[in-house]
């Protein structure tokens, strides 16, 4: 039986949900870690409901926090095969949650934006690129692409037959997941014919700065086809 997940949410400011933004937190955090972004974005996305589910597993290194799957540190030296196994285990849980949330609001994947941080970015890329229908966009902060050799199974497509748009954002001083991971991901995606954009946040560690949030907001409104321009935060 697939585990059920849920977490904090911010309702559409307009009270009429037309888009769904799902935040996927990092290892050793929970859904509360990213939901504050919704309060910064919702004025520019008034018809969007934001939800940030807690990962299904108790974190091995922080019993009060959650994990999508086990990790070892530094992440760059962990076993890639275990990452792939963990993602394949977590994906059905996330897919079931996304399907239920979209049904709740009468939406389709064309109205869905996935936003990941660190381990959440790994899952956003893995699951988002393999949905039955592609999400409107995938935004990944401080993460990495797991299993580039498996990108042949990344079959999710938009209604126009294209891959979903992707934006990767990373800090130059990230000592948890090196910024090199962003460039490797961008390169592997491009080689597989999956277009993507990236933004490098100078002097930022394993976190998200104002510039990264601004780029993410612009990407979100463009991907979800929200016509109202998003000014600087």
Residue of 89 and 78 predicted with greater confidence: 89
Average pLDDT value for residue range 169-176 = 96
The domain limits of the chain are 9-223
Average pLDDT value for residue range 36-55 = 97
Residue 80 has pLDDT above 90, yes or no: no
Q: What is the pLDDT of residues 200-223, one digit of tens each?
A: 999 999 999 999 999 999 999 999
Q: What is the spatial distance between Cα 6 and Cα 118, in angstroms, rounded to a whole number? A: 19
Residue 173 has pLDDT above 90, yes or no: yes
Count Cβ atoms below 10 Å from residue 154 Cβ, excluding itself. 22
Q: Of 213, 221, 219, 208, which Cα lies nearest the Cα of 117?
A: 208
Average pLDDT value for residue range 20-26 = 98
Q: What is the spatial distance between Cα 119 and Cα 181, in angstroms, rounded to a whole number? A: 12
pTM of the entire predicted model: 0.95
Judged by average pLDDT, the poorest of 66-75, 95-104, 121-130 is: 66-75
Whether 50 and 10 have beta carbons less than 8 Å apart is answered as yes
Q: What is the spatial distance between Cα 22 and Cα 97, in angstroms, rounded to a whole number? A: 10
Catalytic residues: 118, 174, 206
At residue 2, the pLDDT reads 86
Q: What is the pLDDT of residues 138-151, one digit of tens each?
A: 999 999 999 999 99
Residue 180 has pLDDT above 90, yes or no: yes
Q: What is the spatial distance between Cα 224 and Cα 233, in angstroms, rounded to a whole number? A: 19
Superfamily for 9-223?
Alpha/Beta hydrolase fold, catalytic domain (3.40.50.1820)
The two structure tokens encoding residue 177: 């997941």
């Amino acid at each position: 039986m697939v585990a059920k997940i849920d977490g904090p949410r911010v309702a559409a400011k307009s009270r009429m949900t037309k888009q769904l933004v799902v935040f996927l937190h990092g290892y050793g955090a929970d859904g509360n870690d990213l939901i504050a972004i919704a309060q910064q974005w919702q004025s520019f996305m008034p018809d969007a409901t934001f939800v940030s589910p807690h990962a299904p597993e108790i974190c091995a290194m922080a019993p009060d926090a959650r994990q999508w799957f086990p990790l070892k540190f530094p992440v760059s030296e962990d076993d890639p095969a275990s990452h792939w196994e963990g993602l394949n285990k977590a994906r059905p849980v996330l897919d079931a949650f996304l399907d239920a949330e979209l049904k709740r609001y009468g939406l389709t994947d064309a109205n869905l934006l996935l936003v990941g941080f660190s381990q959440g970015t790994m899952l956003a890329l893995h699951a988002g690129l393999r949905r039955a229908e592609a999400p409107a966009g995938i935004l990944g902060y401080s993460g990495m692409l797991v299993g580039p050799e498996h990108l042949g199974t990344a079959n999710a497509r938009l209604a126009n037959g294209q891959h979903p748009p992707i934006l990767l954002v990373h800090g130059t001083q990230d000592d948890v997941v090196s910024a090199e991971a962003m460039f490797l991901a961008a390169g592997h995606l491009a080689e597989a014919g999956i277009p993507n954009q990236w933004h490098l946040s100078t002097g930022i560690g394993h976190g998200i700065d104002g510039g990264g949030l601004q780029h993410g907001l612009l990407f979100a409104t463009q991907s979800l086809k929200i016509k109202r321009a998003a000014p600087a935060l």
